[in-house]
Structure 1
Amino acid sequence: MEAITFKTESGNSYLYSPARKVVIPIPQHADEGLLSDNFSNNDFLVILEKEGYLENFDSDYSVRISAKDIENSIRDVSQVVFEMTTACNLKCEYCCYSDGYTVFQKRRNGKLEFSTAKVVLDSLVEIFKSKVATGLRSEPFAISFYGGEPLMNFPIIKEIVEYAELLNFEGKEIVFTMTTNAVLIDKFADFLCKHKFRILISLDGNKKHDSYRKTVSGKESFDIVYKNLKYIQKNYPTLFSYIRFNAVYTNKSEARDILNFFMTEFGKYPQFSQLHKPDLAAKEVDKIKSMYKEIEIPYELCMQKDLILESPIHKRIFEFCTKLSGHTYHDEGELSNDIFRSNYPTGTCVPFSKRIFVTFEGNLFPCEKINRDIPWGYVDSSERLIINASTIAERFNSMLDKYERICSTCYLQQCCTKCAFQSADLNCDNKKSKEQFRNILSKIYSYIEKHPDIVNLLKENVVLK
């Protein structure tokens, strides 16, 4: 990677030095000198060259993970997610498990059995016992429920919760969470409230915004969900206080109207999620393409604390501020594990460093969003949890080997968020050339110049877990 000069919309010039991981303002004549490679008589540029700001940067992608890194990740994991069922009582038109995608298709139909969940929980209890005491405060341990629609398998949820509350997770506070479409939430509100569930509800806004979310019979689901939420809001205020909302952004979305709807009706703002980009090989690729729309939030709204990271440009600025600094940690496990401080191709997480996802049939994956072609672990027929850390490390390192060539020529490499295991092949739609990265830098710093308070707002209001 070479040093890059760029201009903002106001005409100011900057230098991005990948070797020093900094962006500095430079005089316009210095910008012109760099672009022409004629700066021997320019004192300012001579100083920059002497101090290493103009050096090329070549990533050292020799780092590979070990079985010990995998074991440490599992030891420090803060969440286990159970796929309760692949069945769903809705048939959303943009669902990632629909014919608009291929990468998420490899899953069979079925429901989780309690015996499978019990093996995983018992095994984690034993693994946590081996954790070396650090003296740091332990984070809460989340036991989460996912689907399909998880409440369609409520009896097993009940068994898991009641069993987990009897276990000793080495001083960790157990937190129960769930992602649900809220079609059945009224029926199980007593239980969810009693066990202080943190709930993320999928709702895209008012009836117009939410109209892609259909029932299996093809009817819009908004009226059912809205009625249930109002019931919870009135009769279970404590449970309602633990509810968050996720709104998928589509071509029917208008951020201002959506935010006004949620605040007026529920006194809360939602988080926004971008519609997954469709796979070109998918059967309904054109249908998903027609629904896609980039998230756009009016400036005066996205400067509010609860919405500051919902803006794509704010997320990008935040990524640059954290990833380029080299001094950011997300939890205590990263402080004690050297692999998290190392540079390797892609933005793929070390397996199991964030969560363990358990499918209904007992297969283990690092998260719910990746390919399910080959399990990373499993509950075997003898009800034992099998995780071969050496095999997992080899598989991960093999992926790094394949991506090293692609990543080494990408100018976004130091700020990459791309997960290699969400792709079906080695094509990376996130790769950026020098000119593309220059345009990104220009856009970011043009925004910062117009809104100079944004960096401090991010610093003061965004807390890393």
Structure 2
Amino acid sequence: MKEKYFIHLLDTPVGKYIYDVNTNSIIEIGEGTFEYLKCGKKNTNQVDRDIQKMIKQGYLKTTRVEKAKNPSIDYIEDFLNNRVAYLVLQVTQGCNLRCKYCVYSGGYDTRTHTKKRMNYKTAIKAIDFLIEHSKDEDTLYLGFYGGEPLLEFELIKMCVKYINKNAFGKKVEFNITTNATLLTENIVDFLVENNFQILVSLDGPKETHDLSRQFAGSDEGCFNKLMDNLKFFQLKYPEFYKNRVSFNSVILPDNHLKSIEEFFSTNPLVKENAITSSVVSDVYSKSTIKIDEKYVIDEQYGEFILFLSKLGWFKNEQVLNIAEQNFRNIEDLADNLMKYKRSELPKEWQHGGPCVPGMKRLFVNVEGKMCPCEKVSEIADQNVIGHIDKGFDMNKVLAILNQGNKYFEKCKDCWIFSLCGVCALTNDMVNNGYCELQKKDVERRMINYIILKKLGLEFV
């Protein structure tokens, strides 16, 4: 009957384990038990005793979810009427750069840069919508996105003034995603005065950054201009810069990762700041992204050094900052395993990916269309969950929330059911290899988590 156990086998360098899906637990097992669960050969009494012991402890259940249902459905109207806390405004679809890998660059089958910009009336309607639908929230978050949002700096100033005046009794946090080439003293002063969280796009050293990030209408890279602006910012507001400016690096997998990591670890303008990174995807791309073997080797080496540091075998300053994201992913897994213990899967449930569309991070584009977040394509009809003039389209919201129905027969027997990250952004990729990538990623994180725990690292 072993084939009915809802488990996943984990063969690691430090032992044999199973991930028990029903209880959301990782359990170490013996070699013989592992082979039985893998091949069905039970040739010792010890294996039988081990199996019976695990069953008695509540593991090795055969329970599967019987019906796809997102648990948020029963509360969706309350959530969207009272708990919308985060609004992201696409103040422009224009940009002063033409980054080759940008989804607006024309190199993808989704969006392109346009001259469209958000007018004041649309922006104020969106802010009013946020205030009206956040009755249960003490803190509101207002983000500015593009294109390059600083092209519409005057509109940003008016939005900040308006929400500060009208969000009675609520704290407001501001953030902006920018290429930082348009920063001036006036803009920097304003961002600091209003305590903005600032995410700057920076891909690495000059030769890497300028390879993809060039000014519109020219072949000139923007690295020098960006770094000059950051230097001024850091000099005038050193503490704010250190604590409120972070960086996102978009990595081409044919670049040498080591030089990028060394840049972020040593350059005085970035080495003390938070850094996130992502690898360019060829999903929807009109060209194929080639992954260089040296990139893979550099990535694995950076992760290895990071783990040694976490175990206390290297000093922290020897760790390349950009590799920290890999460890954060393992911490997220550890957090999930510790928080969400259960006796078995519920009869009605859905895979772990979709958030409540519109509640977690409501994105409003230049025309007032509403989407679940700024990462999805706003030109895809299924992602448009309403308009600020008409409110939420509940049919669209429920369609995204219930997307588990679409693939339920495929998903119900999948061992990463509750750890899956498929959401509105990645929904179209399910039949394009995305599921296998998800499984490999979760398995890799589990194995690294097991190894680190075995070597003495405590996850809190």
TM-score under structure 2 length normalisation: 0.81
1:412 and 1:432 in contact (8 A); partners too: no
SS at match of 1:92: coil
- 1:73, 1:128 → 2: CA distance? 8
Please report how far the alpha carbon of residue 178 of structure 1 lies from its aligned counterpart in structure 2 after TM superposition.
0.6
Partner of 1:149: 148
Residue range with higher mean Cα deviation, 218-227 or 27-36: 27-36
Deviations 1:128-149 (A, max 9, x none): 34x3xxxxxx553211111110
1:74 and 1:353 in contact (8 A); partners too: no
Partner of 1:210: 209
Specify whether residues 353 and 153 from structure 1 end up closer, same or farther in structure 2 by C-alpha distance, changes over 3 A only: same
Partner of 1:15: 18
Matching residue within 89, 96, 113 for 1:89: 96
Residue range with higher mean Cα deviation, 411-420 or 224-233: 411-420
Please report how far the alpha carbon of residue 238 of structure 1 lies from its aligned counterpart in structure 2 after TM superposition.
5.2
- 1:85, 1:435 → 2: CA distance? 37
Please report how far the alpha carbon of residue 218 of structure 1 lies from its aligned counterpart in structure 2 after TM superposition.
1.6
1:45-444, aligned counterparts within 5 Å? 45-64=51-70, 65-66=72-73, 68-73=75-80, 75-102=82-109, 104-105=110-111, 109-129=115-135, 131=136, 140-169=139-168, 171-187=169-185, 188-211=187-210, 212-216=212-216, 217-237=218-238, 239-241=240-242, 242-250=244-252, 251-252=254-255, 253-254=257-258, 255-262=260-267, 264-279=268-283, 282-283=285-286, 285-286=287-288, 288-289=289-290, 295-296=299-300, 297-301=302-306, 303=310, 304=316, 310-311=323-324, 313-325=326-338, 327=340, 343-345=349-351, 347-372=353-378, 373-374=380-381, 375-380=384-389, 385-388=390-393, 390-397=394-401, 399-424=403-428, 426-427=430-431, 429-432=433-436, 440=444, 443-444=447-448
Structure 2's unaligned 5+ residue stretches are 311-315, 342-347
Specify whether residues 369 and 28 from structure 1 end up closer, same or farther in structure 2 by C-alpha distance, changes over 3 A only: same
Please report how far the alpha carbon of residue 115 of structure 1 lies from its aligned counterpart in structure 2 after TM superposition.
0.7
Specify whether residues 73 and 268 from structure 1 end up closer, same or farther in structure 2 by C-alpha distance, changes over 3 A only: farther
- 2:357, 2:439 → 1: CA distance? 33
Residue range with higher mean Cα deviation, 65-74 or 110-119: 65-74
Deviations 1:237-287 (A, max 9, x none): 35424211112222333254122234x3345244232124112x532x22x
- 1:79, 1:307 → 2: CA distance? 32
Please report how far the alpha carbon of residue 320 of structure 1 lies from its aligned counterpart in structure 2 after TM superposition.
2.8
2:98 and 2:215 in contact (8 A); partners too: yes
In structure 2, what residue type is equivalent to 1:210? H
Deviations 1:136-167 (A, max 9, x none): xx553211111110010111111111111111
Higher helix share: 2
SS at match of 2:68: coil
- 1:272, 1:377 → 2: CA distance? 31
Specify whether residues 248 and 107 from structure 1 end up closer, same or farther in structure 2 by C-alpha distance, changes over 3 A only: closer
Specify whether residues 315 and 409 from structure 1 end up closer, same or farther in structure 2 by C-alpha distance, changes over 3 A only: farther
- 1:353, 1:434 → 2: CA distance? 25
- 1:361, 1:437 → 2: CA distance? 37
In structure 2, what residue type is equivalent to 1:258? F
Deviations 1:55-81 (A, max 9, x none): 224124432453741441452233111
- 2:441, 2:385 → 1: CA distance? 35
Equivalent pairs counted in the alignment come to: 425
- 1:424, 1:438 → 2: CA distance? 20
Deviations 1:362-405 (A, max 9, x none): 1111101113222211133xxxx5223x3234322552221212
- 1:351, 1:51 → 2: CA distance? 38
In structure 2, what residue type is equivalent to 1:69? I
- 2:60, 2:89 → 1: CA distance? 50
Specify whether residues 80 and 164 from structure 1 end up closer, same or farther in structure 2 by C-alpha distance, changes over 3 A only: same
Let me know the Cα RMSD of the aligned residues. Answer: 3.3
- 1:23, 1:409 → 2: CA distance? 18
- 2:438, 2:271 → 1: CA distance? 44
Structure 1 ranges of 4+ moved more than 6 A: 305-309
Matching residue within 33, 37, 40 for 2:36: 33
Please report how far the alpha carbon of residue 89 of structure 1 lies from its aligned counterpart in structure 2 after TM superposition.
0.8
Structure 1's unaligned 5+ residue stretches are 132-137, 329-341, 460-465
TM-score under structure 1 length normalisation: 0.80
1:185 and 1:228 in contact (8 A); partners too: yes
Partner of 1:462: none
SS at match of 1:431: helix
Specify whether residues 75 and 310 from structure 1 end up closer, same or farther in structure 2 by C-alpha distance, changes over 3 A only: farther
- 2:100, 2:191 → 1: CA distance? 28
Deviations 1:204-237 (A, max 9, x none): 2221231221111121110000011111111233
SS at match of 1:191: helix
- 1:227, 1:107 → 2: CA distance? 26
1:202 and 1:245 in contact (8 A); partners too: yes
